[in-house]
Structure 1
């Protein structure tokens, strides 16, 4: 029996790379994806194939170019002839304070966080139904508790939560659809002051950042949890249950 195949968008770095590594170590074949981070993706690809020959492939694509997603799906399917797990991880994230929001902001944030996951789910639904597979969407705790100055991003993640639950109904019983909502796992690529970091940590009962593998473990669980669908697993050290925290 051939190994299960996971396709993880935005898997060259950070949480996406950690998820790819975790699933590869668990025996999955991996289709990596990147847009700009080609060097990082190729290094990870080489690492996987050294560990287990012909166990990983790489596709390069702009997920906001909806008209090319069908071709991307074909490349993914041609890699190993099947797909069992679609992880919609790729995401744009940056502030959009009111008064300065542009159409480009809207198209980028909704394109990467909602539009691409929806159309990829549509393209892969038949193959995932055949394998009785799973779609796992990377949402965010700020889908429920919007982040100040990040209105468009928070809206996009809220839409992704709704999409997750809706597709769980529509694609049942052959395809499960779930989400993972990370809290503070890695500091954002935008520089934060030490004061800002201290404020974030003060809001977390666990009193520390999480680790990328905390998210990868949750994703791995959802890959195998045959009776779990339409659910969002929050991985945030308890931050979302502290009702008084400020964002």
Structure 2
């Protein structure tokens, strides 16, 4: 029997790469999507191929280009012959202060954070249904609690959270749809980071020690999380959470409780 197959968007580095490693270790073959991070993507694929030859497919795409979305699903199914899981991890992030926000920023933020996950899910659904598959969307604390200066990002992530719940209704019982909301996992160091951890602190530049201390002071567990903890939540939702759909798992040390 062929192994289960997962497509992970934004999987070249940071949390996306850890999700890929965790799912690969759990027995999945992987379609690994990236946009710009070619060197990191090739290194990750080589690492996984060393562990299990023939287990990866690299897919490059700008998720803002609509036609690439069904094409990514078709390439994955054409290569592996099946699709069991979709992880919508890729995420765009930029501040949009009111008074300076532009329609182009709206289009860019909604394309990566809401439109692409929805249309990837739509294209993937018939294939996922064959094997009782699942979707995990990466959302954010700011999908539920607004962040000043980032209205459009918050709106886009809120749309993805609602898409998670709505898709759970539409695609059940064959396909389960859930979300993971990371908290303080990795301090941002890169304005082009493609995963929610970079946005989870409200800045595209590294926070100061005081900023870090203030954020951790509002986290009941008083520490940052790890990419491995987020990736394990994704794996659990895909493999073990058979009676969960439409749910958001907050891997945030309790940050949602503290405001």
The separation in 2 between residues aligned to 1:204 and 1:148, in whole angstroms, is 19
Superposition pairs of residues 116-135 of structure 1, within 5 angstroms = 116-135=116-135
Q: Can you give the 5+ residue segments of structure 2 that lack an aligned partner in the other structure?
A: 191-203
- 1:240 matches 2:256: yes
The one-character-per-residue Cα deviations of 1:185-211 (angstroms, maximum 9, x if unpaired) are 111232222222221111111111110
The separation in 1 between residues aligned to 2:105 and 2:81, in whole angstroms, is 36
- 1:221 matches 2:236: yes
Structure 1 counterpart SS, 2:145: coil
Alignment correspondent of 1:67: 67
TM-score normalised by L of structure 1: 0.96
The separation in 2 between residues aligned to 1:193 and 1:6, in whole angstroms, is 37
Alignment correspondent of 2:30: 30
* Higher mean displacement: 67-76 or 17-26: 67-76
The one-character-per-residue Cα deviations of 1:107-143 (angstroms, maximum 9, x if unpaired) are 1110000000000001111001111100100011111
How many residue pairs align between the two structures?
A: 243
For the aligned residue pairs, the C-alpha RMSD in angstroms reads 0.9
The separation in 2 between residues aligned to 1:213 and 1:150, in whole angstroms, is 27
The separation in 2 between residues aligned to 1:125 and 1:211, in whole angstroms, is 30
Shift of 1:2: 1.1
Q: Can you give the 5+ residue segments of structure 1 that lack an aligned partner in the other structure?
A: none
Alignment correspondent of 1:55: 55
- 1:42 matches 2:57: no
Structure 1's consecutive aligned runs of 4 or more residues displaced over 4 angstroms after TM superposition are none
Alignment correspondent of 1:205: 220
The separation in 2 between residues aligned to 1:186 and 1:135, in whole angstroms, is 23
The separation in 1 between residues aligned to 2:93 and 2:17, in whole angstroms, is 17
**Any conservation in 2 of the 1:31–1:79 contact (CA below 8 Å)?**
no
